[in-house]
Amino acid sequence: MAEHARDPRPGQRAASPTAAESFAGELRTLRLDAGQPSFRTMARTAGSISHTTLYEAACGSRLPSWATTRAFVQACGGNEEEWHRRWSAAVNGERPAVPAVPVLPAPAVTSDPEPRPSRPPAVPPVPSVPSAPSLPSAVPYPHRRRIWTHALSLLVGLLLGVFGTLGLLAIRAPAAQPDARTCPSAEPDTPDPQPTPAPDGATPSTEARSWIARTAYDQQAASSTRLATPVHVAVTPGDTLVVAMMLTGTCPGPVKVTDSRGDRFQVLGDVTDSLRHRVLVLAAFGATALTTTDSIRADYPRAGEYHMTVDEFRGVTTVRAVTRASGDAGGTDFTTAATATTCDPGDLLVSAVGSNTGTAPEFGTGWTTLPALQLSSYRLTTAHRIATDAEHCVAAGRTTSQWGAVLAALR
């Protein structure tokens, strides 16, 4: 459904802008630098702030509250401390010196804005000729004017209909995918990380290895290279955060994820299918405590769409093994068995599957599927389970989609 709220346009004013107007201009610049996300998308990111409230904050009619400002800044990936200082200065009435914008005088309006066309001069009557047949009289002038008015109305209506249809088609069209010719030379395939030794001390018990909550998520059809999403559920210090990402029509290149507390996520697995759709799994072991005022950010090569989920797990401190695979559409299943690896009973298995068109991926028995993200025909599906033996560390299920899958065994 097309969004009705559009960017506010600053009007022309005779005096220098107020503190609220200057602050709104800074907010609009921040949004422009963030790639001009829609206000509805920003509202979904902000969570409790509506798109109308965010739109009004960028209008400058009045100074927004700090809660609205913080949601606006979080949705655009800005620095909260810096913007809190700017907001406080605006509240105190501090305004930058901005030259006044002159108001252009409106064009004078005459008492009769629509000049009346002159009527044709009167023609003296012609004597009638009895033997000549009577001819139909010419169409009177008011009638001709009415006909032209109807014709112009029909033409304007036709043009509006054509442009409206073209606009709807443009809205429904999928986001442009990066052209493969614009990608840099393909980099050597980065190998999956090797198992790392567990830290000193006892390994967490099997019973403690569990999924806790969906910490954050985001998705958008926008050709971009950066995203920032707020934390929706607070994170307990020491737990592990696992990020699953899907980038559509993307290019090779590094993907970096961090949060506002300085935690850095290491890439565990990375796979790209034949259509250049890329699926990654990253993790931050022993994460810092996060609250709903924090955010998680990602930098990545340009992509047509992005999907990202962040889930909190407890009882794991390292990666044991990683495997990955991809397949074309039209099949009846997906599986990482071609590059299967071993794991120990009790290991926590986490898998992410990115798919395009076809049927949604369905994991096999024993897997717990988490809420999937879907945008147009693209889906990101994540699931987890506890390994029961050392011979079947495989992520498998059914789908007819184009797919790419990553499996990480954590302990």
Domain ranges within the chain, ordered by starting residue: 19-91, 206-410
The two tokens of residue 232 are 């929706």
Q: Under CATH, what is the fold of the domain 19-91? A: 434 Repressor (Amino-terminal Domain) (1.10.260)
Strands (E) in 54-184, as ranges, are none
Work out the average pLDDT over 286-307: 91
The pLDDT tens digits for 334-352 are 888 877 677 888 899 999 9
Could you tell me where the DSSP H helices lie in 34-120? 39-46, 51-57, 66-75, 80-91
Fill in the amino acid letter for 198. A
> Residue 270, SS3?
strand
Q: Please list, in sequence order, all residues whose beta carbon lies within 8 angstroms of the beta carbon of residue 178, skipping any fewer than 6 positions away.
A: 223, 249, 250, 251, 302, 303, 304
pLDDT on residue 260: 93
> Any idea which of 28-42, 48-62, 129-143, 368-382 has the lowest mean pLDDT?
129-143
pTM: 0.56
Banded model confidence at residue 195, pLDDT cuts 50, 70, 90: very low
Work out the average pLDDT over 378-403: 87
pLDDT on residue 137: 45
Mean pLDDT of the chain: 76
Q: Is the pLDDT of residue 183 over 80?
A: no
pLDDT on residue 161: 66
Taking only Cα atoms into account, the Rg of the chain, rounded to an integer number of angstroms, comes to 31
Q: Is the pLDDT of residue 7 over 60?
A: no
Which residue has 């969004």 as its token pair?
3
The two tokens of residue 89 are 């200065």
Banded model confidence at residue 408, pLDDT cuts 50, 70, 90: very high
Burial profile 201-213: b = 16 or more Cβ within 10 angstroms, e = fewer: eeebebeebebbb
The pLDDT tens digits for 95-108 are 444 433 333 333 33
How many Å from the N-terminal Cα to the C-terminal Cα in the chain? 45
The pLDDT tens digits for 150-163 are 677 777 667 776 56
| 16/14 Cα distance (integer angstroms) | 7
Count the Cβ atoms, other than its own, within 10 Å of residue 319. Answer: 23
Banded model confidence at residue 140, pLDDT cuts 50, 70, 90: low
Which contiguous run of DSSP H or E holds residue 229?
Answer: strand 224-230
